[in-house]
Structure 1
Amino acid sequence: MNQRIGYARVSTDDQQLDLQRDALQQAGCGAIYEETASGKNAVRPELRQCQKALRAGDTLVVWRLDRLGRSLPDLVQIVTDLEQHGVQFESLTEKIETGSAAGKLIFHVFAALAEFERGLIRERTQAGLAAARARGRAGGRKPKLDDQQVREIKVLLRDPDIRVAEVARRYGVSRTTLYKHIDIVSPKT
């Protein structure tokens, strides 16, 4: 008996699977594999379990293409593997199903467009970061120690009786952070 099996994924813990779950249930999926994992993460245990559960004649259903693949090559590889095992693929939002030649063609066109869009987003992000740097704004994490704290720590560590670990605890940072910010000649842990 051919099954419709769903796969749903969100990238972060604060995102919800409800929308995808509802759509997959409405599409007739008897089983739905769900996980929270970044699309960039190659290790997706629920996807692996989902693939193991699929049999020839079954259909893997996702809410949207980007929920399945990390990139165009990854998405194409997954769908190709499915096809080699006699499993069809369906994406609800893009209305793509690989059960027909036309569906396969549409899948490849949409996958290419999705990859193109991600490339544009990446380019715009890089351009925005470059523009911000040109205006003197630096991105990234705020430093754990400010200049005043670094000066204070340097004075404290001149005393041979004060240990690096004590200073690190006092300032709420790790010893590694101290070593990065301060040139400590002989580590006193």
Structure 2
Amino acid sequence: MSESERQPTRKIGYARVSTADQNPDMQIQALKDYGVPEELIFVDRASGGTLDRPAFLQALRFAQVPGTEFVVWKLDRLGRTLEGILEVLNLLSDRGISFFSLTERVDVTTPMGKAMLQMMGVVAELERNLIIERTKAGIERAKARGEMPGRPISMTEERAEVASMMLQMGDRGMTVFEKIKDLKGPPISRAAYYAWQKEWDAGRAGGSAPDDESE
């Protein structure tokens, strides 16, 4: 298929620099050269360690239009960790939004791009399992010293970030719970998630939270 045949009707660009004194101009110019309109380029000056970035969330909301391509200069602009990057790519895929990275030339709609995502998933799973094993080893060492570790928090920082991002994009209830429950961390119940969502709603709306436990 030729470039003109597969080219989406709309391009959304996202750029990120880690600190306020860094310059995103190179990223912005690369996105413009690729054909992203300047008014549809969203720029964050924030760490990639969190998904809760204002321009990033705005870019995702703007991208939720059929035929949209989400474009970045480099994969690591999406997030700091491999798992965080995969979460974003899966989120885009779930919404039917295509993705392209200018530096790595990754187009996740092609067989090569899909194969790369699978390999990234394997590496992320290995990374996750290593963290779990290190955590278990630490708990066993604590027990051997007679220390009793506290009860683990099921709504981990990563789960909270992904849930917050999805809620701001309009997802709610079971849609969010099904997405976050398999992320690394202790087992989480539906009730625990809904309690967190109610607190999130209260924080956003000054205490008035919709009752959507049937979702």
For the aligned pair, the TM-score class normalised by the smaller chain equals: 0.5 to 0.7
Q: Report whether the alignment pairs 1:50 with 2:59.
A: yes
Query: Partner residue of 2:132?
Result: none
Query: Partner residue of 1:32?
Result: 41
| 5+ long unaligned stretches in structure 2 | 1-7, 127-215
Query: Partner residue of 1:147?
Result: none
| 5+ long unaligned stretches in structure 1 | 117-189
The 1:80/1:45 distance shift into structure 2, 3 A limit, reads same
**How many Å apart are 1:112 and its aligned residue?**
7.2
Letter in 2 for 1:21: I
TM-score normalised by length of structure 1? 0.56
Query: Partner residue of 2:115?
Result: 105
CA-atom RMSD, angstroms? 2.4
Determine the C-alpha separation between the residues in 1 that align with 2:43 and 2:118.
25
Determine the C-alpha separation between the residues in 1 that align with 2:71 and 2:121.
15
Which is worse superposed, 19-28 or 33-42?
A: 33-42
Query: Partner residue of 1:63?
Result: 73
Q: Report whether the alignment pairs 1:11 with 2:21.
A: no
Highest Rg: 1 or 2?
Answer: 1
**How many Å apart are 1:44 and its aligned residue?**
0.3
Q: Does the CA-based 8 Å contact 1:8-1:21 persist in structure 2?
A: yes
Q: Does the CA-based 8 Å contact 1:96-1:107 persist in structure 2?
A: no
Question: Which runs of structure 2 are paired with 1:1-189 in the superposition (5 Å)?
Answer: 2-30=9-37, 31-54=40-63, 55-109=65-119
Query: Partner residue of 2:210?
Result: none
Aligned length: 116
Identity %, equivalent residues: 37
**How many Å apart are 1:50 and its aligned residue?**
0.4
Determine the C-alpha separation between the residues in 1 that align with 2:117 and 2:17.
21
The 1:3/1:49 distance shift into structure 2, 3 A limit, reads same
Determine the C-alpha separation between the residues in 2 that align with 1:13 and 1:96.
28
